[in-house]
Structure 1
Amino acid sequence: MIDIFKLGFVEFDAKDMRAMSTYYSDTMGFTLTEYGPGGSAYFSSSTDHHNIVLTPSNESGIRSFGLQYKSDLGIEEVAEYLNLNFGITTELKTDVKPGIYQYLQFTDPEGYEVHLYPEMTMTNPGFKTKGILPNKLGHLSLRVKDAKKQVEFYKQLGFHNTDWIESFFGFMTCNYDHHVLNFFTSEHKGMHHIAFEMRNYSHLVEKLDFLRLNNKNLIWGPSRHGAGHNIACYHEDAEGNLIELFTDADIYIKELGIFEPRPWHKDFPQKPKVWSTDECLSLWGVDFEKALV
């Protein structure tokens, strides 16, 4: 009835619009496509109208995120379907923000604002020549009170649970990426990190040097994670939001319930499973001063 297939954008509250805009434009290498109501700034990685939105605020942190879907149903029928089948109450928004003509807005069980939209305006800034220049927005990680309940909620929307770190960190996908969303049981609400996919390891290493030359230090990595097997490293944007750059993430074949085989897998076939914290964070056995969890 509804097929969510993509994490389209993440919107941040920003105290310092200039610093945050400079980071996403000059450091990340995204293109400013438009200013919206209230002074919001919209940034595109390549062809979507936007993948990052910055909204002026007295606070910092995640404000909302958008999931793109396809369906044979009209958007009002999708709203009715979600309400009748899952008790999800949505509000139809039309022509209120640039790039997306209409979307369904709702709040998930943990209080995060979600926008479901069928179409986004395509633009053509392409990839710039300077900056990190990731392939795409890869995934979003959120702190929640109960990861298990949050995972069950998003299963209703068609997401698949791919892996766990013990019982407190659940990974979910709506396509073939190992994870598009993940949920981290925590005493605090807020984003854990946002992740951008790099082309390959050479691209990743090149941009780590770029970060150093632009006075950005890594706080963790690079190393290979267990769940997802991505080579990952982390730094912070201009307001302390945790940014992951990654490559080599697992590809999930949902029809078979396995991940595409890779030489660095321990299990063949590699299937979704529960990982221990110690084995999951760094398969290379690298200890870092600042832990991620």
Structure 2
Amino acid sequence: MPGHQNVGAVSEIGYVSMRTRDLSESIANAVDVFGLHETASDGRKAFITAQNKHHELVYTQADEDAIDHIGLVVSSAGELDAVRAKVDRGGYRVVSEQPIEDHIEQGFAFVGPEGYTWQLYTEKLDYCMRKRGSLTPDRLGHVNIKSRNAPAMRDFLTEVFDFRVSDAIGIDNFFMRCNDDHHGIAIFSSSDLGLHHHAWQAGNVMDLGRLGDRLARRGARLAWGPVRHGAGDNIAVYFIEPNGAVIEYYCDMETIRDKERPARVWDPEDLYWINQWDGQVPAGILDFGVVPVER
């Protein structure tokens, strides 16, 4: 585009790559319970997606349950270079000048604050007609990570990836967007580090109910929900996957088309921000998650 200046902006959340001590169980949970599709596997690693991409979720057999890295998409090579320039200025450690994941043509990876690894990459998508199953999510929507210094993590996401704060819960929890979705990354203040949950967009609230039905028929239960959040306004259900991370299935999330819309600020004592309907949060639900891999 003539006159366009690359600012180093992330355009969407691409995928989540996790290590798991039981690859077959993780695959079965994603495919049989959650309705995702396995696109490639070699017995050591599996690539999984909802509908339109080669992968939005990667599991690797390992001796630990952990978050390996988070993949973030940029819209062009120019935007990739602009992010890389900010990474260099910030002094962050680049761990690969090439993509660290298969099936990605162009990108680099680095370790950011608190040990989280980020894969930045460009992505080419072919047109794909969605063929929804009885449960299949539309796409990966967002991730929620724990931080010991949430304001610093907020500043990092803003300065390096051009995220914006949509909602702030007091001064220690932030919901941040990189496109029209209310949030692509949420940051929760915690004494522990880790990926708390990865979240997938459903077609409607009936899909959330069908997930609950499917779990019940397998002798399992939802960990929380259905609930309507205040921050984001989405209806959601949650369950715990085999490696200890939480999976959210949601619909009806707020969209924000004004990039400069100021953040809403919530009183953290007013639990309407997390549960509009009854203000309740299951005990221990925020304690789950998988720690970041040390590099």
Who is 1:113 aligned against? 117
Contact 2:272 2:279 in 1 (8 A): no
- Structure 2 vs 1, CA of residues 79 and 239 (structure 1 numbering), >3 Å: closer, same or farther? closer
Q: 1:101 aligns to what SS in structure 2?
A: coil
Match of 2:156 among 150, 153, 165: 153
Match of 1:82 among 83, 86, 89: 86
- Structure 2 vs 1, CA of residues 27 and 135 (structure 1 numbering), >3 Å: closer, same or farther? same
Who is 1:4 aligned against? 10
Who is 2:292 aligned against? none
Match of 1:204 among 197, 205, 208: 208
Q: Could you tell me how far apart the structure 1 residues matched to 2:198 and 2:84 are?
A: 31
Q: Could you tell me how far apart the structure 1 residues matched to 2:232 and 2:83 are?
A: 33
Q: Could you tell me how far apart the structure 1 residues matched to 2:284 and 2:187 are?
A: 17
In the alignment, does 2:275 pair up with 1:282? yes
Q: Could you tell me how far apart the structure 2 residues matched to 1:122 and 1:90 are?
A: 30
Q: Could you tell me how far apart the structure 1 residues matched to 2:55 and 2:172 are?
A: 31
Q: 1:250 aligns to what SS in structure 2?
A: coil
Residue range with higher mean Cα deviation, 101-110 or 145-154: 101-110
Matches within 5 A, 1:93-242: 93-94=97-98, 97-120=101-124, 127=131, 129=133, 132-156=135-159, 157-242=161-246
Deviation at 1:216, TM superposition (A): 2.6
- Structure 2 vs 1, CA of residues 80 and 117 (structure 1 numbering), >3 Å: closer, same or farther? closer
Deviation at 1:224, TM superposition (A): 0.9
Q: 2:71 aligns to what SS in structure 1?
A: strand
Q: Could you tell me how far apart the structure 2 residues matched to 1:79 and 1:223 are?
A: 36
- Structure 2 vs 1, CA of residues 284 and 92 (structure 1 numbering), >3 Å: closer, same or farther? same
Who is 1:268 aligned against? none
RMSD (Å), alpha carbons: 2.4
Q: Could you tell me how far apart the structure 2 residues matched to 1:120 and 1:55 are?
A: 24
- Structure 2 vs 1, CA of residues 235 and 83 (structure 1 numbering), >3 Å: closer, same or farther? closer
- Structure 2 vs 1, CA of residues 32 and 80 (structure 1 numbering), >3 Å: closer, same or farther? closer
Deviation at 1:206, TM superposition (A): 2.3
- Structure 2 residue runs of 5 or longer lacking an equivalent are 1-5, 287-295
Residue range with higher mean Cα deviation, 59-68 or 25-34: 25-34
Percent of residue pairs identical: 26
Tell me the alpha carbon deviations over residues 157-207 of structure 1, each in whole angstroms, 9 at most, x when there is no partner: 110011112222111110011110011111111111111111111222222
Q: Could you tell me how far apart the structure 2 residues matched to 1:113 and 1:286 are?
A: 34
With the length of structure 2 as denominator, give the TM-score of the two structures: 0.85
Who is 1:266 aligned against? none
Residue range with higher mean Cα deviation, 90-99 or 26-35: 90-99
Match of 1:24 among 5, 11, 30: 30
Deviation at 1:288, TM superposition (A): 4.8
Who is 1:249 aligned against? 253
- Structure 2 vs 1, CA of residues 256 and 81 (structure 1 numbering), >3 Å: closer, same or farther? closer
Q: Could you tell me how far apart the structure 2 residues matched to 1:99 and 1:125 are?
A: 21
Deviation at 1:217, TM superposition (A): 0.6
